Amino acid sequence: MAISGNLMFRCPVTGREINSGFNTDQDGLRGIPPMQSMHVRCPACWKLHDLKFSAGWILPNAASVGKRVIAG
Ligand SMILES: [Zn+2]
């Protein structure tokens, strides 16, 4: 089962990880040409970055990771 989550990038200015808010999974990411880029309003430096999908990675959301449920 493919892991889904938000596509993450690294801010070229601050070096911080930024969440693009773009939800996808491994299969979805494979279907996007690596040289394809997207514009992301960076939450770290507030600039608009033109980031390539090949530079991104998926931050698995809680549902797909399967958090341990503590009973009681
Ligand atoms: Zn930035």
pLDDT beneath 50: ranges in the chain? none
The answer to the question of residue 72 being in a domain is: no
Q: What is the pLDDT of residue 68?
A: 56
40 alpha carbon – ligand 1 mean position (Å): 9
Q: What is the pLDDT of residue 61?
A: 84
30 alpha carbon – ligand 1 mean position (Å): 25
- Residue that is written with structure tokens 């608009």 in the block: 48
Q: What CA–CA distance (Å, rounded) separates 40 from 49?
A: 5
32 alpha carbon – ligand 1 mean position (Å): 23
Q: What is the pLDDT of residue 1?
A: 63
How many domains does the chain fold into? 1
Q: What is the pLDDT of residue 62?
A: 73
| Torsion, Cα of 56, 59, 63, 69 (10° steps) | 170
CATH number at residue 42: 2.30.30
Q: Which domain holds residue 18?
A: 4-60
The answer to the question of residue 69 being in a domain is: no
Q: What is the pLDDT of residue 2?
A: 77
Q: What is the pLDDT of residue 3?
A: 84
Q: What is the pLDDT of residue 34?
A: 81
